[in-house]
Amino acid sequence: MATVVGSAPKFTERDAARLAAELYGIQGDVKALPSERDQNFRIGTNHVLKVANAGELREFLELQHDTLARLRHFARNLEWPVVLQSRYGADIVEAGGHLIRMLTWIPGTCYAAAPPHSPELLASLGRALAQMDLALAGFDHPAAHRRFHWDLRQATDALQFLPLLPAEKRELLAPIFAAWEHIDWNALPQSVIHNDANDYNVLVREGRVVSVLDFGDMVWSATVCNLAVALAYAMLGQQDPIAAAAAVTSAYRELRPLSESDLDALYPLAVTRLAMSVCYCAWQSAQAPDNEYLNISNRPAWALLERLAAMPDGWAAEVLRGAAAQKDSLLSRRRRTLGPSLSISYRDPLHITHGRGAYLYDSGGRAYLDCVNNVAHVGHSHPRVVRAAADQMARLNTNTRYLDAHLVEYIERLAATLPEPLCVVYLVCSGSEANELALRLARAHTGREDVMVVDTAYHGNTNALIQISPYKFNGPGGRGKPPHVTVLPIPSADPTGWQAAAPAPPAAFICESALSCAGQVILPPGYLREIYAQIRATGAVCIADEVQTGFGRAGSHFWMFETQGVIPDIVTMGKPIGNGHPIGAVITTREIAASFANGMEYFNTFGGNPVSCAVGLAVLDVIRDERLQENALTVGEYLIAGLRDLQTREALIADVRGMGLFLGFEMPHEREATELVNRMKERGVLLSTDGPLHNVIKIKPPLVFSRADADLLLAHLHRTLRELH
């Protein structure tokens, strides 16, 4: 490499003009074009004079000319330069120690300078590459069989420059080279390939790829490397790099199928190309800091490598294999067989295949910032939680009628998060089971049946819970309020309206500590203290439904009820407790537990099984170790301030409310809210609506949601609200 860059020709534009005139009889304005190791001069409007590196072999230029001839013959949908003969009848001429050629100029813009890189343009790139690879099948030339530092088979050549990079950059590249080592080269078909369809070599005209230039990196290698190189550059600067790579690949495969082995190798090879590129840049920059061309693709390449590293393992490879192809059939098969009482989110439903942190990833290669899935509390597929589940699953999973260290440790840890006298734990499998059991506890303890709830509440999907959920019994298909239920209004700030009056003394008052289905409503200060006092005066018990609000989401407190300065008699938990693994829990006092222990056993086949307990423990560990409650507080405050700022500028935001990472804002109507949610999804941000009028946008992301995520959400909200306005 040192010799190659060092022996680059140093002709002036005047030299080039003279050579063009003398050798080819061609005159015109001369303009030097950027090149790494050769020199290219545009002459007039129709020609380019190419001066090869002093190290270039004539035989290699002949390979290029043979290749062009073959492409002109077999890849006719594309345009290929014609090699001109000099006045003396040769297509390669020697001058000043360098080999010289004159080629016709193909008009167009280089791909890098032709944004936006629309799906159509990406597809045309895929087709162009497939046409080239098809045209070169069966073609061979001795000069192609060379050891070349840009050949992806020789990635170790680049690896030697790793020490030139800072530690964090080396860490980014290490897994890439490790994956490269697993490529089974013997399984990959080989041929002569162009090997450098980078964004400066691909020529675009009228939104379509018309040619691929610069044959100086040709080599005999695995054919799939040609596509892999192009993917590396097609991903640069894209909002959804994997979707871009998938668009190129799928168009390529329509013309030239790829084997299973090719598909296995494709993504690792594309990323290896980027890694090689930044390694060579590091070395070249050290040698020739003033050569601007060397740095052209360096910064975007690092940015892309960082983004790719944040993506879930295996996702990109799966997308490139065509995972999206099944999306339509999944929808129709789902509709045919799944119970029809369940809607699917978004006008154009999502086919999510992977999750990591606060992001979800779909089969088509798009990443989505997840602002609604409060279940994936510590982040989607958190590795510690996954490992805890897998390890325990591989070891033992039984019911809770045996002694188990995980169970005991878990219930102790869970109980320790709550104030006295809440100390007796029941483990179940869902929020519904938790609330169902809470009702049984309250009824056993009081000997009464009636229940008091707050309007628009949802507490679960069982018979008994539908009956106490106004959101359901007053909603579509509901049968109205049953006689044993009293509904309190969603509280206003005025305490004179806080009356818990019922026709008969109830068994329980159940209330979320901040109201979810009512539209992310924060209870007015003092509300629960007042209502709990009135309820307890009747002998009833107070149940705090913390299914959505618990585990640090409030930011200032671990449990949302603590923000109201009360201690419930029963607390129910679900959703975030297992980060997606089905766990629920009920925690109550010794007195209530004693009332329930009337001889009838409470057995729950799956509740409290060792796998669930291992998962629950891992979730508690991660919340503590990653300081997620603190994150909910700081990012939540930052986000609500951003939303309030947006509110001053955007008339479509009526009210902003929330606490920690339990936030929402109101829009005038359901129509605008639904439109916003769908448009935000198209921008790669997932939100959803709530509230009795479906006009509240709810924001309750995984607690790993960062300040940068909040910025992204706010920026997209701003743009989308502008559009809607």
Ligand X SMILES: Cc1ncc(COP(=O)(O)O)c(C=O)c1O
Whole-number minimum distance, CB 345 to ligand X, in Å?
Answer: 14
CB closer to ligand X out of 363 and 548: 548
Dihedral of alpha carbons 600, 605, 609, 615, sign = negative
CB closer to ligand X out of 131 and 548: 548
CB closer to ligand X out of 550 and 610: 550
Structure tokens at 580: 């997606």
CB closer to ligand X out of 50 and 553: 553
Residue 234: which of 319, 150, 117 has the closest Cα?
117
Contact 491, 498 (CB under 8 A): yes
Structure tokens at 237: 């600067």
Whole-number minimum distance, CB 688 to ligand X, in Å?
Answer: 12
Whole-number minimum distance, CB 548 to ligand X, in Å?
Answer: 5
Whole-number minimum distance, CB 517 to ligand X, in Å?
Answer: 7
Whole-number minimum distance, CB 339 to ligand X, in Å?
Answer: 15
Whole-number minimum distance, CB 669 to ligand X, in Å?
Answer: 24
Whole-number minimum distance, CB 326 to ligand X, in Å?
Answer: 28
Q: For residue 213, which amino acid is it?
A: L
Residue 296: which of 272, 319, 314, 278 has the closest Cα?
278
CB closer to ligand X out of 453 and 620: 453
Whole-number minimum distance, CB 400 to ligand X, in Å?
Answer: 19
CB closer to ligand X out of 154 and 604: 604
50 phi, psi to nearest 5 deg: -110, 125
CB closer to ligand X out of 53 and 374: 374
CB closer to ligand X out of 240 and 512: 512
Whole-number minimum distance, CB 469 to ligand X, in Å?
Answer: 9
Whole-number minimum distance, CB 586 to ligand X, in Å?
Answer: 12
Contact 583, 427 (CB under 8 A): yes
| Gyration radius of the chain's alpha carbons | 33
Q: What share of the chain is helix, strand, coil (3-state, %, to 5)?
A: 45, 15, 40
CB closer to ligand X out of 135 and 573: 573
Q: What gap in Å lies between CA 483 and CA 476, rounded to an integer?
A: 19
Taking CB positions, which residue lies at the least distance from ligand X?
431
DSSP for residue 84: P
Residues near ligand X (CB under 6 A): 430-432, 435, 458-461, 512, 516, 545, 547-548, 574-575
Whole-number minimum distance, CB 431 to ligand X, in Å?
Answer: 2
Q: What gap in Å lies between CA 660 and CA 387, rounded to an integer?
A: 28
132, 197, 327, 562, 720 from 217: Cα distances, Å: 15, 10, 39, 66, 45
Q: For residue 216, which amino acid is it?
A: G
Q: What gap in Å lies between CA 281 and CA 268, rounded to an integer?
A: 20
CB closer to ligand X out of 465 and 667: 465
CB closer to ligand X out of 262 and 545: 545
Dihedral of alpha carbons 36, 39, 41, 47, sign = negative
**What order of strands is seen across the sheet that includes strand 451-454?**
424-428, 584-588, 570-573, 541-545, 508-512, 451-454, 485-488
Q: Helix count (H) and strand count (E) of the chain?
A: 24, 25
Secondary structure (DSSP) of 418-486: S-TT--EEEEESSHHHHHHHHHHHHHHHHS---EEEETT----SSHHHHHT-HHHHTSTT-----TTEE
